[in-house]
Amino acid sequence: MKAQPLPDLSRCAVHTVTTKPWPIGTAIEKYARAGFGGITVWRDTLVGRDPLVVGKQIRDAGLRNTALVRGGFFCYGNEEERAKALEDNRLALREAEATGAPMVVLVCGARPEQSLGESREQIRDGIAELLPEAEARGVVLAIEPLHPMYADTRSAVNTLASANDMAEGLDSPWVGLAVDVYHLWWDPDLYAQIRRCGKNGNLTAFHVCDWRVPTEDFLLDRGLMGEGCIDVPGIRAVVEEAGFTGFNEVEIFSKRRWEGDQDAWLADIARACREAV
Amino acid sequence: MKAQPLPDLSRCAVHTVTTKPWPIGTAIEKYARAGFGGITVWRDTLVGRDPLVVGKQIRDAGLRNTALVRGGFFCYGNEEERAKALEDNRLALREAEATGAPMVVLVCGARPEQSLGESREQIRDGIAELLPEAEARGVVLAIEPLHPMYADTRSAVNTLASANDMAEGLDSPWVGLAVDVYHLWWDPDLYAQIRRCGKNGNLTAFHVCDWRVPTEDFLLDRGLMGEGCIDVPGIRAVVEEAGFTGFNEVEIFSKRRWEGDQDAWLADIARACREAV
């Protein structure tokens, strides 16, 4: 089964990291002009700026702020690291509220010095500790399971099953899940796990890109939808069947694309959203 | 839980690809002299050699031939590719028999042009078709689930659960499973799936190495046991608890190690087998 092609870009958003060379103001203006309905804000674009002002710019441009990216990295070796991680996540929640983002996406963290099981406990405890602040700010904490190739230092949550377990254990309306096709496309259990998180009301974000063949870099060689081997329309069909009505968020880390003309790149993204999402 | 340290190298084997610069004769001599109990033969070392002679050299050196690596790549786009894949696997079975290897390890294959589900069907059908030949040669076909980062072109079998499903479906004494810590260490379901395949009598091989932090190459940057973040003794404990009594096979693709002195490298491997397996 494939999803119906999107009629326009009103339900598509672009992560600002996708057009990394652009400052946030340029990204807002260009995304809106191209017809995208939303923008996902990477926190590094906020450095030196007032998040309230950025939030107003986004609204004035007619864009929805889909999410603030990223919080997380909950794993620690000592109390100081633990406190620092929580403080940074509290800051992310305040920035999300100020910019008008309904959620903070979590790259949960991992430490090669400890087992993945220990890391997952620290992650769960960290999220639990933040829930009152999330509720006070009206901002969801969205766990994003990461590809197993990032299990060493980036996230100990590497399957949607594992993320579902964690979200169900936390059992809070302020916990959600971000399904990113890049991280999860290979999982034979993916469709069942998408249905599970839809059923439990935890499916809060859907990220699209593609897996290039061959992929040449662990971090910065993601593909545009349609140029790799991920069945994006097939996954979107299941995501929507599971009740998801949010944005298709384009998140592409690509050194080669960042080196090229960003206007042409955004035009390619717009076309791919219509033809390959 | 951790496994007890190995008292000696009698239950350790080295894959010849680990010391890639050495021709097979040198590898046999050096592994035996270092005290390893076994050798795993990469097929490229057999090119231009009589496998019967190589088999005799291995036995004469007092080594066990643990496995022939590798068969598989069952996925195809047309009938010609399908026939070619089967023919190559039949050749692998004959080479295994001739060299005295009890199994052929399968890198099952994947094609980015088709879904992983379709690829898995082709893999299962390919193995099923080879079973009479495997039985005739007395050689097990060992499915090796590969890390999800290889799901594009190398294998559509990316978890031990998926491999267990396939092996149980094929339900033959001539089908086995190869558990490689590099491919599976991140899986929260790993221990349960190891117990499952032990219980069903399908656990036929155990491969060790480590995941370097950071890993810089998708293929050729594996680590020596103890220099990365994989809990090898922890996984070995579960593997042995599940009834496995075979070899700890060292399989390390490492460009940096291949560039160095191979005698020193083998000494490092011997030490790591004693201290970090």
pLDDT digit of tens for each residue in chain B (277 aa)? 889 999 999 999 999 999 999 999 999 999 999 999 999 999 999 999 999 999 999 999 999 999 999 999 999 999 999 999 999 999 999 999 999 999 999 999 999 999 999 999 999 999 999 999 999 999 999 999 999 999 999 999 999 999 999 999 999 999 999 999 999 999 999 999 999 999 999 999 999 999 999 999 999 999 999 999 999 999 999 999 999 999 999 999 999 999 999 999 999 999 999 999 9
Q: Where is A12: in which H helix or E strand?
A: strand A12-15
Residue B113 in domain: yes
Question: In chain B, what residues touch A186 (CB-CB under 8 Å)?
Answer: 116, 148, 151, 158
Residue A1 has pLDDT above 90, yes or no: no
Question: In chain B, what residues touch A188 (CB-CB under 8 Å)?
Answer: 116-117, 120, 158-159, 161-162
Under 8 Å CB-to-CB from B3, ≥6 apart: which residues?
B233, B234, B236, B237, B240, B277
Residue A135 in domain: yes
**Residue A2: per-residue pLDDT:** 87
pLDDT digits (tens, 9 = 90+) for A40-59: 999 999 999 999 999 999 99
Strand, coil or helix: A216: coil
Cβ count near A215 (within 10 Å) = 18
Contact B228 A112 (CB under 8 A): yes
Residue A7 in domain: no
> Is A19 within 8 Å of chain B by CB?
no
* Side chain identity at residue A250, one-letter code: V
Side-chain-side CA neighbours of B227 within 13 Å: the count stands at 15
**What is the spatial distance between Cα A16 and Cα A44, in angstroms, rounded to a whole number?**
10
Residue B149 has its nearest CB partner, among A112, A115, A149, at A149
Residue B2 in domain: no
ipTM score assigned to the predicted complex: 0.96
Q: Which domain holds residue B176?
A: 12-276
> Is A162 within 8 Å of chain B by CB?
yes
What pTM, to 2 d.p., does this model score? 0.97
Angle B150-B155-B158 (CA atoms, 0-180°, nearest 5)?
75
> Is A188 within 8 Å of chain B by CB?
yes
**What is the spatial distance between Cα A268 and Cα B68, in angstroms, rounded to a whole number?**
47
Question: In chain A, what residues touch B187 (CB-CB under 8 Å)?
Answer: 148, 158-159
Instruction: Give φ, ψ of A175 to 5 degrees.
Output: -115, 135
Closest chain B residue by Cα to residue A235: B115
**Residue A257: per-residue pLDDT:** 98
Total domain count, chain B: 1
Q: What is the DSSP letter of A245?
A: -
C-alpha distance from residue A49 to each of A52, A95, A99, A266, B157 (Å): 9, 11, 11, 24, 47
Contact A162 B211 (CB under 8 A): no
Q: B79-99 and B116-137 helices cross at what angle (nearest 10)?
A: 40
Instruction: Give φ, ψ of B41 to 5 degrees.
Output: -100, 120
Beta bridge partners of A178: A205
Tokens linked to B68 = 């022939």
Contact A189 B229 (CB under 8 A): no
Of the pLDDT bands very low, low, confident and very high (cuts 50, 70, 90), residue A150 is very high
**Residue B1: per-residue pLDDT:** 80
When pLDDT is averaged across residues A267-274 and rounded to a whole number, the result is 98
Please name the residues between 79 and 118 in chain B that touch chain A, using a CB distance below 8 Å: 112-113, 115-117
When pLDDT is averaged across residues A47-73 and rounded to a whole number, the result is 98
Residue A147 has pLDDT above 90, yes or no: yes
**How many beta-carbon contacts under 8 Å exist across A and B?**
75
Residue A152 has its nearest CB partner, among B113, B161, B213, at B213
Cβ count near B236 (within 10 Å) = 23
> Helices (H) and strands (E) in chain A — how many of each?
10, 8
Q: Assess contact for A103 and A176: CB atoms under 8 A.
A: yes
Contact A115 B231 (CB under 8 A): yes
Residue A5 in domain: no
**What is the spatial distance between Cα A17 and Cα A133, in angstroms, rounded to a whole number?**
26
Question: In chain A, what residues touch B228 (CB-CB under 8 Å)?
Answer: 112, 152
Strand, coil or helix: B159: coil
Question: In chain A, what residues touch B231 (CB-CB under 8 Å)?
Answer: 115
Strand A175-180 to A140-143 pairing:
parallel
Average per-residue pLDDT in chain A? 98
**What is the spatial distance between Cα A114 and Cα B129, in angstroms, rounded to a whole number?**
44
Contact B213 A159 (CB under 8 A): no
Closest chain A residue by Cα to residue B156: A186
Residue A42 in domain: yes
CATH number for the domain that contains residue A100 = 3.20.20.150
Closest chain A residue by Cα to residue B232: A115
Contact A112 B213 (CB under 8 A): yes
Residue A1 in domain: no
Contact B161 A215 (CB under 8 A): no
Instruction: Give φ, ψ of A75 to 5 degrees.
Output: -80, 145
Residue pointed to by tokens 């829930």:
A131
Question: In chain A, what residues touch B112 (CB-CB under 8 Å)?
Answer: 213, 228-229
pLDDT digits (tens, 9 = 90+) for A153-202: 999 999 999 999 999 999 999 999 999 999 999 999 999 999 999 999 99
Of B148, B197, B257, nearest in space to A160 by CA = B148
Q: Assess contact for B132 and B172: CB atoms under 8 A.
A: no
Please name the residues between 220 and 239 in chain A that touch chain B, using a CB distance below 8 Å: 228-229, 231, 234
Contact A148 B147 (CB under 8 A): yes
Residue A190 in domain: yes
